[in-house]
């Protein structure tokens, strides 16, 4: 049996009655089955939503972009394969799993292993600034082997989207068009770093979400 391909589609659309319904109809006409929807951001006049959709085996994901952007006021920010589990209350489950782990190192490892699924990124690390320079404390399975030799953004006092084109970013990260975000984890010299190869850019609401989550996790680890 062929595996059913699943994609994460990020769209920006006009925030008006019926716009999401029209998008659902357009995607359904293209052969997509919408499995879940998360609101990423809402502002005056528009919304940004993440939709997890299934396509029939052999169908091309470009069809989703074509179908969506035929609608007035709809723009596809990104589309990428989705391999995460579809679960409700993802943040709460992550917090519970971290709390259940035995010891600081184990809790940090659980954090970076599960954060990519919860926050919909490619990889996650915990980085600390030491007297000898930055050190990767733990990393998820998808974290790049190439490390950043410098982290001029550390110390860090609040969650931020990092400049992914800055000189400190390893070239291999830039080659993969990796967008980056970070948030302090308990103190200004330790941070959770998220990487999203191929984008899209981190929205302010996603950065804030990272900050809330790391704040709670820092309390548990402490």
Tokens (6 digits) for 153 = 């953004």
Residues 6+ apart with CB under 8 A from 16: none
Q: What per-residue confidence (pLDDT) applies to 56?
A: 79
Secondary structure element (H or E) that encloses residue 75, with its range = strand 74-81
Grouping H, G, I as helix, E, B as strand and the rest as coil, residue 76 is strand
Instruction: Report the length, in residues, of the chain.
Output: 222
In this predicted model, what pLDDT tens digit does every residue of 127-171 receive, in sequence order?
Answer: 999 999 999 999 999 999 999 999 999 999 999 999 999 999 999
Nearest to 27 by CA among 77, 78, 61, 4: 61
Backbone angles phi, psi at 171, to 5 degrees: -60, -35
Secondary structure element (H or E) that encloses residue 214, with its range = helix 204-221
Kindly report the CATH number that applies to the domain delimited by 6-81: 3.30.70.260
Tokens (6 digits) for 113 = 């292993």
Domain with CATH 3.30.70.260 in the chain: 6-81
Residues 6+ apart with CB under 8 A from 39: 47, 48, 49
What is the distance between the alpha carbons of residues 208 and 89, in angstroms, rounded to a whole number?
17
Q: Can you give the pTM of this predicted structure? A: 0.76
Residue ranges of the chain with per-residue pLDDT less than 70: 1-3, 83-89
The architecture in CATH of the region 90-221 reads: 2-Layer Sandwich (3.30)
Q: What per-residue confidence (pLDDT) applies to 86?
A: 46
Q: What per-residue confidence (pLDDT) applies to 60?
A: 87
């Amino acid at each position: 049996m062929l595996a059913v391909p699943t994609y994460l589609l990020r769209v920006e659309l006009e925030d008006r009655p019926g716009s999401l319904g029209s998008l659902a109809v357009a995607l359904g006409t293209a052969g997509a089955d919408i499995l879940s929807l998360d609101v990423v951001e809402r502002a005056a006049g528009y919304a940004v939503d993440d939709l997890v959709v299934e396509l029939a085996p052999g169908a091309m994901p470009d069809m989703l972009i074509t179908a969506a952007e035929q609608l007035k006021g709809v723009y596809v920010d990104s589309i990428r394969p989705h391999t995460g589990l579809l679960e409700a209350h993802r943040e709460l489950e992550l917090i519970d799993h971290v709390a259940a782990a035995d010891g600081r190192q184990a809790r940090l490892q659980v954090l970076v292993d599960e954060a990519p699924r919860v926050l919909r990124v490619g990889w996650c690390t915990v980085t600390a600034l030491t007297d000898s320079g930055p050190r990767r404390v733990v990393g998820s399975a998808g974290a790049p082997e190439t490390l950043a030799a410098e982290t001029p953004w550390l110390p860090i006092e609040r969650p931020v989207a990092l400049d992914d084109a800055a000189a400190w970013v390893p070239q291999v990260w830039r080659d993969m068009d990796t967008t980056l975000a970070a948030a302090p984890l308990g103190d200004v010299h330790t941070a959770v770093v998220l990487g999203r190869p191929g984008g899209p850019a981190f929205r302010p609401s996603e950065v804030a979400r990272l900050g809330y989550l790391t704040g709670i996790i820092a309390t548990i680890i402490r």
